[in-house]
Structure 1
Amino acid sequence: MENQRGKGLSFARRIYMPRTVGLGIGCICVTAALYPLNVPGWVWVLMLLNGFVWPHFAYQIATHSPFPYQAERRNIIGDSLCGGFWAAAVQFNPIVTVTILSMMTMNNVAAGGPRLFLQGALAQLIGVVIAWLLFGISFTPTATPIQVWACIPSLTIYPLAVGMVCYRLAFKLSEHKRALSALSRTDSLTGLLNHGAWKDLLHVKFQQCRQNKVESVIALIDIDHFKAINDSYGHIVGDTVLRQLSVELRRTLREGDLAGRYGGDEFCVILPNMSLHHAREVMERLREVLNDYRHPPVPELRIKLSIGLAAYQTVFADAITWLNDADKALYTAKNTGRNKISIASNPAAEGSATRIPA
């Protein structure tokens, strides 16, 4: 219910400005059409109330309702009913009637699509019937030049107001779309790329390496004995370790490097335009920083990293072959004592790795 209320309040705020502008300037063209008809005084009072009081009253109704969205849709139906009433009250003066009904229709379609358009059309018909019951059925087939000029503000300013609202809404939706896209590619715990997003970028970087013949390196990082950390200190401490590693990755890597959480306690990094020697130095700094980290509530905790490196090779058939080479180097580091860096030496098929001891 709270979510519906938030959405409804936003909807009411979007409608408030176009309604205030539209009904205010709409009084100009209605006045020009009513004046020659010698209507009773209460009709003028009703027009002023509808043009200058109703927009603010409708906004208060919507914002104070338990369900603002539904209340605002009822307000829009009320707008349409009044529009039909004034079209019949001015005896269907052609220019005034077209202006009123077209502006109302544009508003209904923009606010609620075909369904609200049909509901609004029915409300306009009811408004016509009410006016005919009060004033009788009459038609004015022609419009004076003054009435034409009086409709120009409605035909220019009101569409501008609606267009601005639609533009702002489209801009917000675009921002939300970008935010959702970023969230779909981000690991919620660490803020790094998630498995799928990193894999997609790996294929892109592989093609760039193939086309541009540049040095690049993949690093796979595994936290040693991470299960034991969770079992001994709890998952909250384990999550802190994962976040700390992600923080240090951001501090250590360049802006163009791509770091992701590959799964569980395993992280992956693409280091484009970097030699294997330089990549080893970068990963060694990372390993040392994490080794020196002390968790305040658990000072005895130590974070050790096993890291596998694989440089891009022209013999690689695809990005997965490159990744598998880094994976073999990582397992070499894990199976030969951990807390070290291993570098893949034979990328094609042998799967051997050169170990760099801690």
Structure 2
Amino acid sequence: MNTSRHKGLSFARRMYVPRTVGLSIGFFTVAAAMYPSHPPAWVWIAMILNGYGWSHLAYLLAKLSKNPYAAERRNLIYDSILGGFWAGAMGLNPLPTVTVLSMMAMNNIAAGGPRFFLVGCGAQITGALVGGFIFLPELFPAVTQVQVYASLPMLVIYPMAIGLVCYRVALQLSRSKKALEKLSTTDSLTGLMNHGAWKDLLTVEFNNCQTLNRQNSVALIDIDHFKNINDTYGHIIGDNVLKQLSSVLSAGLRESDLAGRYGGDEFCVILPDTTLAQATDVLERLRRTVHEHTHSVLPDLKVSLSIGIAPYGPHLTDASMWLHEADMALYDAKSTGRNRVTSARPGVRVCERLTPEFE
């Protein structure tokens, strides 16, 4: 089933319940307005079929159509024509007419907005002219007490049915929005935060450190010789290494720690309320866990990590400077032998991030 057909069927299902409820109770509104004119038997049969059969037929037509969405929009136009027809047949009796046509208009504007509402209004007028021409009723007859009572269920129950449908749609949209937000901030391969989302949180944490004087550390993690792993074992194994490291990060860090994929074979971590010594201890354990792990299929594959840590300090002017210090610490870890955790040296600046031999 293609996407457009699935959406069309979903639209038809959403309209099925309010149409069924509305026509079922609307029958009594129309019947109360038509009764004083003593219509013939065929009119009562038509009212019953419209009230209790049309909703099921409309759903069946949409379900069997190649384009359910277009079919359901046509059904809404038919609703408006039929509603207008009964309004004309009852001589535009004020209360029943307003009740029936306003419910139809509610459907149209909910399903297609103002433009479709205007199309529905045109259909209602057409139906009213046809109904008035066939029955030639007395126009604007007095509203009876029975007609008032017959209109009340329509005025109370039908809006509740529409409200329930709208509530369910709102819940579905909320869930879809949350899923899209998660997709937009998640790295598809590792399941960790992506580069942009992590850097946004880094800025938030930096501001918290400035205003709340919190201890905090940021770390950059690089897989040593990752290009050689890809060249030797292939990119599928390389991807598995990235996934395994993300799993180790998720399992070995606290819930408050914020891990992400910085790009390529580089990962990043924010460790809130953590001193440099505590952050070093956590990441040293992480480094040992990865280095000591033996791949079940490729026992000769050994993975090691170079990690650079930078604690927050008052000398830092912005989040980029903080990240730069972690970057320089990572440079030191790679340039002094790799497979180690190195702390930042505040004030040290390097013009080039990494020379080619350390990539």
Q: TM-score, normalised by structure 2?
A: 0.95
- Whichever residue aligns with residue 348 of structure 1, its letter is G
Q: Which deviates the most, 124-133 or 79-88?
A: 124-133
Between the two proteins, the alignment pairs up a number of residues equal to: 350
Give the CA deviation at 1:64.
Answer: 2.2
Give the Cα–Cα distance (whole angstroms) in 2 for the partners of residues 14 and 99 of structure 1.
Answer: 22
Aligned-pair identity (%): 57
Aligned counterpart, 1:317: 317
Deviations 1:275-297 (A, max 9, x none): 11111111111111111223333
Give the Cα–Cα distance (whole angstroms) in 2 for the partners of residues 350 and 184 of structure 1.
Answer: 33
Give the Cα–Cα distance (whole angstroms) in 1 for the partners of residues 128 and 349 of structure 2.
Answer: 86
SS of match in other structure, 2:72? helix
Equivalent runs, 1:269-308 vs 2, <5 Å? 269-308=269-308
Q: Which deviates the most, 170-179 or 291-300?
A: 291-300
Deviations 1:299-324 (A, max 9, x none): 22111100001111111111111110
Give the CA deviation at 1:136.
Answer: 2.6
Give the CA deviation at 1:350.
Answer: 4.8
Give the CA deviation at 1:149.
Answer: 1.2
Aligned counterpart, 1:118: 118
- Whichever residue aligns with residue 130 of structure 1, its letter is V
Give the Cα–Cα distance (whole angstroms) in 2 for the partners of residues 207 and 45 of structure 1.
Answer: 73
Does residue 235 of the first structure (1) align with residue 235 of the second (2)?
Answer: yes
Give the CA deviation at 1:140.
Answer: 3.1
List gaps (5 residues or longer) in structure 1.
Answer: 352-358
- Contact map agreement 1:305 1:339 (CA 8 A) in 2: yes
SS of match in other structure, 1:218? strand
Equivalent runs, 1:211-222 vs 2, <5 Å? 211-222=211-222
Give the CA deviation at 1:132.
Answer: 2.7
- Whichever residue aligns with residue 215 of structure 2, its letter is E
Equivalent runs, 1:189-208 vs 2, <5 Å? 189-208=189-208
- Whichever residue aligns with residue 146 of structure 1, its letter is V
Aligned counterpart, 1:60: 60
Aligned counterpart, 1:136: 136
Give the Cα–Cα distance (whole angstroms) in 1 for the partners of residues 189 and 40 of structure 2.
Answer: 69
Give the CA deviation at 1:298.
Answer: 2.5
Give the CA deviation at 1:266.
Answer: 0.4
SS of match in other structure, 1:91? coil
SS of match in other structure, 2:22? helix
Give the Cα–Cα distance (whole angstroms) in 1 for the partners of residues 44 and 290 of structure 2.
Answer: 78
- Contact map agreement 1:194 1:262 (CA 8 A) in 2: yes
List gaps (5 residues or longer) in structure 2.
Answer: 351-359
SS of match in other structure, 1:27? helix
Deviations 1:24-44 (A, max 9, x none): 000011110111111111111
- Contact map agreement 1:316 1:348 (CA 8 A) in 2: no
Give the CA deviation at 1:119.
Answer: 1.7
Give the Cα–Cα distance (whole angstroms) in 2 for the partners of residues 335 and 215 of structure 1.
Answer: 28
Aligned counterpart, 1:334: 334
Q: TM-score, normalised by structure 1?
A: 0.95
Give the CA deviation at 1:51.
Answer: 0.6
Deviations 1:51-101 (A, max 9, x none): 111111111111222211111111111111100001011111111111011
Give the CA deviation at 1:214.
Answer: 2.0
Give the Cα–Cα distance (whole angstroms) in 2 for the partners of residues 41 and 281 of structure 1.
Answer: 89
Equivalent runs, 1:1-358 vs 2, <5 Å? 2-136=2-136, 138-345=138-345, 347-350=346-349
Aligned counterpart, 1:354: none
SS of match in other structure, 1:147? helix
- Whichever residue aligns with residue 166 of structure 1, its letter is C
Give the Cα–Cα distance (whole angstroms) in 1 for the partners of residues 341 and 228 of structure 2.
Answer: 21
Aligned counterpart, 1:355: none
SS of match in other structure, 1:338? coil
Deviations 1:121-167 (A, max 9, x none): 12112212321332236413321111111101001110111011111
Give the CA RMSD over aligned residues: 1.3
